[in-house]
Every structure is written in C-alpha cells, then in structure tokens.
Amino acid sequence: MERLSFDTTFLIDLQRERCRGEAAKRPAHRFLQANDQATIEVSAVVLGEYAEGFAEPRDAIELLIRDTNVLSINEEVAIRYGVLVRQLRETGQLIGTNDLWIAATSLTYGLPLVTRNREHFARISQLTVVSY
C-alpha cells in the first residue's frame, strides 16, 4: 500500500470541496478516489496549520486524524530541516518556515508530498512532489 504525505493546501481544498457540494467531481476528492488504497499521512505542522482554520478545531481535527497518520517532528526531521534551510538560503530559494518543516518531514519519512503548491516545493530537489 502506498503512503502519501499531504500538504495543508490539500486538506483545505478537501474541506472547501465538501462545503461546496458535488465533492466527488472536484480535484482533491478525485485524487483521493484515484488513490483510495493509499495511507494518508500528515506532518504535525500540517495538522497545526489546518487547525488554524477553525474557531473550534477539536472536532475537525478529530475527524481528520481518525483516518490519518500524524508524522512527528523528531531529531532526524529537525536536522533535515536545518540542512534544507541552509541549502535554500544559499541559493536564494528560501521558502516559508512551515513549508520547510513539512518538506523535511516528508523527506525524513520517505514520502511523496501531495500539494497544489508544486512550484514552491519544487525548489527542494530531493522531494517528490505530487500535484492533484
């Protein structure tokens, strides 16, 4: 079974599609349907960013993590983050801090990152980026 790491953009799009109706016809839902055997994983940073969108995030988060594996920030992720920051800063390609943590998490756990923000994450050559 394939494992996929999802960026916050995907979760936000998924939520918006649910609210708009006809979710099955929209890009995030179509991606999930096409990858219905994949294990859904998210960085703890993604979980935090997603929670920011709700006045009372507990219910939304509980629903999300019921079928999702939350990837912890550990020593290996922290070191990978530091390496990425240094590399991107030296080349003038630095991206946002949270996105760097998300990328470092995906790389450490050996997972492709599913995101709408392909151009942004493509700056990290080692990261496999999957668009939807």
According to DSSP H, which parts of the chain are helical?
A: 8-20, 27-34, 44-51, 57-66, 75-90, 97-108, 118-121
Report the pLDDT value the prediction gives residue 18, as an integer from 0 to 100.
82
The mean pLDDT values, 10 residues at a time, for the chain of 132 residues are: 93 87 82 93 94 78 79 98 98 97 98 96 97 94
Rounded Cα–Cα distance for residues 120 and 93 (Å)? 9
Rounded Cα–Cα distance for residues 60 and 96 (Å)? 25
Give all domains of the chain, ordered by start, each with its CATH number: 3-130 (3.40.50.1010)
Contact between 121 and 14 (Cβ < 8 Å)? no
Report the pLDDT value the prediction gives residue 63, as an integer from 0 to 100.
67
- 121 phi and psi, to 5 degrees? -75, -20
pTM of the shown model: 0.91
